[in-house]
Amino acid sequence: MDVQAAVAGEMVIAQGEIALVPTGFAVAIPPGYEIQVRPRSGLALNHGLTLINSPGTIDSDYRGEVKIALINLGRAPFVVKRGDRIAQLVLSPVIRAHLQLVGKLAVTARADGGFGHTGV
């Protein structure tokens, strides 16, 4: 679902600036779920505007106003107006991992190769 800015008037996000944009609503998320906050591809591509912590997470016990932490990585200031679509929300189940300490890991073809090891 799209999230709209609930700013009074306009909010200018300068180049390199991080801004917390209000949405004007709160949510009650069921236990066992989270809401993922994701950037809008058009804002990122056309203006360099994205989330500073992508994806963001809203935990099920949070009850305050939803705010979106945006950063302007673009080449010009960006003006946020009331009603602008600034992010997307996705409700997702949370699967809790049960970690187990082991002495040795199983061998794989990739082994410990990372950061560009499998291609571009």
Q: Is the pLDDT of residue 120 over 70?
A: no
**pTM confidence score:** 0.83
Q: Is the pLDDT of residue 72 over 90?
A: yes
Domains detected in the chain: 2-93 (2.70.40.10)
Six token digits for residue 76: 């010009």
What is the predicted pLDDT for the residue at 119? 66
Q: Is the pLDDT of residue 16 over 80?
A: yes
Query: How far is Cα of residue 119 from the mean position of the Cα atoms in its chain?
Result: 26
What is the predicted pLDDT for the residue at 91? 98
Cα–Cα distance, 66 to 33 (Å, whole number):
16
Q: How confident is the model over 86-92, as a mean pLDDT?
A: 98
Confidence of residue 28 (pLDDT cuts 50, 70, 90): very high
Whether 92 contacts 35, CB under 8 Å: yes
Per-residue model confidence as pLDDT tens digits over 42-67: 999 999 999 999 999 999 999 999 99
